[in-house]
Amino acid sequence: MRFFITLSLLLILLFKPALAEDRILSLDYCADQFVLALGDKYQIIGLSQEARDSHSFYRDRAEGISLFRANADIIISQKPTLIVRSWAGDNRLLGFLERLDIPIITIQHAEDPKDIDKNLVAVAKAMGQVERGDVILRQTKERLSQLKKMPRYDMNGIYLTPGAFTTGVGTFVNNVMELAGIGNEFSNMGFEGWFPIPLEQLVLKPPELIVTSFYDSQSARQNHWGVARHGFIKKMIENTPNIDVPGSMMACSGLFLVDAAEHLRVEMDKVLGAKKGKK
């Protein structure tokens, strides 16, 4: 009997989960996505207050995890062993935390797959989840490769925000459209970055397709006047095929480039199928 009890205790010690020594705290919802993608729940002591909002890709994984503001008193009270951030926290707060010797990893701004991969590798290493990071990278690269092999669509489009802004070369949105096989009309014209939608260009050459995102968010409802006040844009939207990409895939120039491009291709096939059906 003593042998079996001793053996049982040994098995429990060998196979029980590791104690939660890590205390990882995320300061903003872009950082939340990396932490939730890579971490075990026992590692994560807190996320931003937007971690369960509609624009948070991993909002379901955030269930049961405490949400906090990026406040010095709150951060110190949680005794984190690692802080992950992308944009939250001003220089004063970050300097204060550094003086307390709390490790901080900052996710760098990224627009293309190579920079996104660098962020993932860096956060995975800081969190002690290198193997999990490698798995995500491998799967993402396989999906990326498949997308690049697919034929491009013989149709160009534009991206339109609720505030009547659009995008050209050198942006995350443009990279998503290109990866999905859809040409960006304004990139073709040589436009770069983000800018108010140029009405004169649309009058001369109306788009064949409009890509949107965030139209279901609170900020979109507040900014919708930017589109609605222009009768021409409103009419253009009504008469042009639309594809909406969930804001959770477009909110951070991070992990979701491939997800957004795959979504665009699926919806694009529906658009083309509908056009054929009308002929």
**Band of pLDDT at residue 229, cut at 50, 70 and 90:** low
CA dihedral 78, 130, 134, 254 (to 10 degrees): 30
Q: Give the single-character DSSP code of 218.
A: H
Query: pLDDT tens across 83-94, in order?
Result: 999 988 888 888
What the chain holds in terms of domains, given with CATH numbers, is 17-130 (3.40.50.1980), 148-278 (3.40.50.1980)
Between 95 and 264, where is the model more confident?
Answer: 264
Query: pLDDT tens across 248-275, in order?
Result: 998 886 789 999 999 999 999 999 886 6
Measure the CA–CA gap between 245 and 177, rounded to whole angstroms: 11
Which strands make up the sheet holding 67-68, listed edge to edge?
Answer: 67-68, 44-48, 24-26, 82-85, 104-106
Residues 6+ apart with CB under 8 A from 224: 162, 215
